[in-house]
Amino acid sequence: MNIDQICSVSAHCGIGPRIGIAGTAGLLLALVPSWLWPERCAMPLPAALSRVLGLLLLVLGSGLYAWSLVLLRRAWSQNHLATTGPFATMRHPVYAAWIWGFFPAIALLAHSWPYLLAPALALWAFARHRDREERDTRQRFGAAYDDYARAVPGRILPRRHHPPPQPRKQEINREFPTKN
């Protein structure tokens, strides 16, 4: 049984399982050096600060994840594209929550830099598989997704397309006569 059979890529999970597996592999790989050489693997900042930052990322990541899932489920249950909330500034906020929130939070809470391999591998998996998910979403929503992708170019970092300003109507200065 492969991952596509466990969770259909185009159905409900998207590329999430691939990102999760890559990140989890990074966590497992970090266990050995963190356990064998804890002093060498300690984050280069005070442990208390590391843990406070880890908790902050955990809370922010959890909020982003929950908010995104609620909006995504609501939109897809009505066969609409999710474009509000965090989806208004990035196309994949659920994956962003894992890559920038949960996985780095674990590294900070563990106060061990080898755990940063987890978000790095999760980011690699996202970059490797994102086109597949966007193709499936484009298939489902057609031109609406193309318009959305143009308006929101940020995939896992907030970014909105700002159209160029409309040219202003040229004002006529009535004080100076114009030459014909």
- Taking residue 180's Cβ as centre, other Cβ atoms within 10 Å add up to 3
Kindly state the tokens that stand for 12.
């409900």
CB 26 within 8 A of CB 120: yes
In the chain, the domains with their CATH numbers are: 3-151 (1.20.120.1630)
Residue 166: predicted pLDDT: 44
Residue 129: predicted pLDDT: 93
CA distance 29 to 33: 8
Residue 164: predicted pLDDT: 43
Low-confidence ranges of the chain (pLDDT < 50): 5-6, 8-10, 164-174, 176-178, 180
